[in-house]
Structure formats: structure tokens, C-alpha cells
Structure 1
Amino acid sequence: MSSQPTGPPARRGDVGRLVRGAARLLAAACLAVDAYVHADLADQYDGISASISQGNLFRIEAALAALAAVLVLVWRRLPGDLFATAVAAGGLALLLVYRYVDVGELGPVPNMYEPIWFDEKEATAVAQAVAVVAMVYLLLVRPRGRH
């Protein structure tokens, strides 16, 4: 006598949809953290400037991260996912570069070298890294027929 499952079989598509949905929520939440921290810290960096202040660059990052979070949740299309990945990866790359390398002033961009870690910087780095991982997952496991 063989044992038969009593409930309906789980469909692989349902599980995949749930995992993709969780990845979207996670990525959007992490992008929201990125947006919040940059917006919150922007006024503290207004004094660091060349043609543009570091505070304004933080405001731009906050706006881009907020837009990316909305696109990940609402639009769910390849261009929005690529944009969100670029925002998270670019933000993380710049954070790490300016943490470890004294690049100096680059044209209109001020010298943003800050060789320390503090709570907000750590939270942003972790959020951006998790967003990158979630977005790369979403880019690699796109549902068939969606472009």
C-alpha cells in the first residue's frame, strides 16, 4: 500500500512567484532604507562641495533609490529592474570607494572621502548589498514571456 499526499500538489510556478514576490519586497525595502538614510543625512553634507554639494548628491541618491523602490514594486518590468539594480550597485560601489580610497575632487563632484564606518553608513551598505542580491536574483529568474 503506497501513501498518497492528502493535499493538492504545490506547483513550482506558485513557489517561484512567491519567492520572486519576496525578493521584490526585500529589494524595495532595502532601496527605501537607502533613500531614507541619504535624505536624512543630506543636510549634514551640504558644506562639502565643488560645483555640487555632497548633500545634493545625497538628495539625488535618495530620489533615485525611492524611484527604484517604487518601480520594483509597481512596474515589475526589465527596465525598472535594471534601473533598481544599477542604483543599488552604483550606490554601494561609490560608498565603498569613498570609504577606502581618497579619490579627491572630480570635476563638479567634491572630495567625498570618509574613511570611517558609522551606523547609517553601515545600514546603507547592508541595504544596498541586499538589494543588489535580490535584484540580481530577479534578473536571473525572470518569468517566461516577460520582457
Structure 2
Amino acid sequence: MRARTGTSRPAHHQRPHRTDPTTAVASPSPPRTLRRRQATEVALRLFAAAGLAVDAAVHLHLAERYDRVTATVSEGTLFRVEGALALLAVALVVLWRRFAGDLYAWAVAAGGLAALLLYRYVDVGALGPLPELNEPVWFTEKTVTACAQAVAAVALTALLVTHLRRRVGRHRPG
């Protein structure tokens, strides 16, 4: 078999020369690293979308039950708004896959979790047009929603960090 002097392989597919100790270090080739990064991003997006979908489903399911808690705006209406915001966030995370959409989705997940925990542990009272939202108990739907929002917020935080790292990497001199 004759040795080839030239190669049709791209530079990132060429094998390092075995006698050169600086290139013989085992490290993933760029395509493999890229595939790994893409798989990680897909997994994070699935976790984020699943958490937001559960958030939306639970809020929309419970909305009617909370229509009786009212001031200018009923708590049921607030639940419907949270459900709609979460559904939009799912669409942005799965279909648009941009920094702004992921940031919006993070705000929905983290904001929803913050509100849930605030009104669980602090009696804020009625605020302007909002009714008294304090509910100092845990029940299945609240626990499921809190867990789903936390999973979505963590996954979205990782996605946002990934976006920011890519931006910084693109703007480095050299």
C-alpha cells in the first residue's frame, strides 16, 4: 500500500503525527466536540421546555379554581396569564432558540418560581389591583410546579451561559 502525500481530509479530521508529543494528547476532535455541545444544548432545551410546559399545564388547570379570589384582577386570571407566558416560552425555547427567547423563558420560569415561593412564605397582602395571593401550604400541584419551574430555570441558566460564552469567544481578539 502506498503512502499518500496529500490528503483530501479537512485539517480538523487529520490524525496527529504519533511521534510529536505536543499533538499526541488525546482530545476530542472539533466535530466530536461540536456534536457533544449540540447534544447538550438539545437536552437543556428539552428540560427547559418540559419544565415550562408543566408550569403552563398546572396553571391553566388550576385557573378556574382561583377565579373566586379577586380584587380588580382575579387570581384565576393571573394563573391564565402565567400559563400563556409559559406556553410562549416553550415555543421560543424549542422553535426560535435565540438568546432573547431563552432570556424571556428564564424570566418566566425564575419569576414564576420566585412568586410562588414569596406568596408561600410571606403574607404580602393585596397589592394594587392584585388580590391577596398568600397561600401558606404545599399541595401536589404547587410542588410539581415549583420543581418544574426550578428545572426550567436551571436549564435556561445553562443555555444563557452558553450563549454568553459563544459571544465572548467570537469577540476575542486574535
Task: Return the TM-score normalized by structure 2.
Answer: 0.77
- The alignment status of 1:103 with 2:124, answered yes or no, reads yes
Q: Give 2:36's aligned residue.
A: 15
Unmatched 5+ stretches in structure 1:
3-7
Q: Structure 2, unaligned stretches of length 5 or more?
A: 1-17, 19-27
1:125 aligns with 2:168: no
Counterpart in 2 of 1:74?
95
**Once the two structures are superposed, what CA deviation does each residue of 1:15-57 show, in whole Å capped at 9, x if it has no partner?**
0110010000110011000000000000000010110000000
User: Aligned match of 2:51 in 6, 10, 30?
Assistant: 30
SS at match of 1:19: helix
Q: Which residue of 2 aligns with 1:94?
A: 115
Q: Distance in 2 between matches of 1:40 and 1:144?
A: 39
Matched with 1:40 is 61
In structure 2, what is the Cα distance between the partners aligned to 1:82 and 1:14? 24
CA positional deviation for 1:13: 1.2
Q: Which residue of 2 aligns with 1:144?
A: 166
Name 1:5's counterpart in structure 2: none
Which TM-score applies when normalising by structure 1?
Answer: 0.91
Which structure's CA Rg is the greater one? 2
> Structure 2: how far apart are the matches of 1:99 and 1:144?
38
**In 1, distance between residues paired with 2:166 and 2:106?**
20
C-alpha displacement of 1:141: 1.1
Match of 1:113 in 2: 134
- Between the aligned partners of 1:11 and 1:144, the Cα distance in structure 2 is 17
Q: How many residues align?
A: 140
Root-mean-square deviation (CA, aligned residues, Å) is 1.7
Query: What's the offset of the Cα at 1:144?
Result: 3.2
Letter in structure 2 aligned against 1:32 = A
